[in-house]
Amino acid sequence: MPTIAIIGAGPGMGLAIARTFGSRGFDVVLISRTQDKLDALAKQLGTEGITAEGFAADVMDRPSLAAALNAAKARFGAIDVLEYSPAPHSSVPGITLAAPSETTVENVQPQVEYNFYGALEAARTVLPAMREAGAGTLLFTTGGGSVDPIPMLGNVNAAAAALRNWVINLNKELTGSGVYAGHVAIGVWIGEGGPEGIPSATPEQIAPLYWELHEGRDRAEAVYTG
């Protein structure tokens, strides 16, 4: 049974991606900061016939993230697909928003830790086994601002753009290895009740894109605009 590990698992995109892959025969590893919430998501997926288990870790605590992924590998045997999309549903220390002219080392560093360094740690933890197997998928999610930056998200977009650049380059490096890396930029408001004039989409509408990339493996990036 193949396994997908979802880092940043929550009741929105994480759950929708879990259902998308789980309904196609994948076991699901759920990783985020709070074990109780992970257990509730795993139980919910279990009622839908999907085998899922939560492993608590903080992407800003890289040793804990590596430990969670290694525990998941020990439990399920291998990680075949990694999906990285941490989204702060609750307060994350040091995470603030800043316009480009207000971006400082102090307010961009936590964004780099959160968006980019966590992704690097996750990839380095699972990639060696994927290379050895000659198969695997690495998917990384950012907002649309990584491609077309938004002034109010100056520090966020800078960190996300670094991740985007690295993922696209990683995909080039992995050509011919059997391992695929792809970047998803979500350029819409996720869910209902977004700001007026900004297009929105439900997690269920967006999630199939991840399966398309995993199956197609024909592009390094997909930008979802609805």
Average pLDDT, integer, range 161-183: 98
Answer yes or no: is pLDDT of 159 > 70: yes
Average pLDDT over residues 190-216: 87
Q: What is the pLDDT of residue 96?
A: 84
| Range of lowest pLDDT (190-194, 210-214, 218-222) | 190-194
At residue 32, the pLDDT reads 95
Question: Average pLDDT, stretch 190-208?
Answer: 82
181-194: pLDDT as tens digits: 999 999 988 877 66
Residues 84 and 139 sit within 8 Å (Cβ to Cβ): yes
By DSSP bridging, strand 27-32 and strand 52-56 are: parallel
Structure confidence by residue, pLDDT tens digits, 86-124: 875 545 666 788 999 999 999 999 999 999 999 999 999
pLDDT band at 83 (very low <50, low <70, confident <90, very high): very high
CATH 3.40.50.720 applies to domain 3-224: yes
Residue 215 and residue 1: Cα distance in Å, rounded?
16
Task: Note the pLDDT of residue 196.
Answer: 66
Helix-helix angle 62-76:118-133, to 10 degrees: 30
Give the start-to-end residue ranges of the domains of the chain: 3-224
Average pLDDT over every residue of 65-75: 97
Give the torsion sign (CA, 47, 54, 213, 157). positive
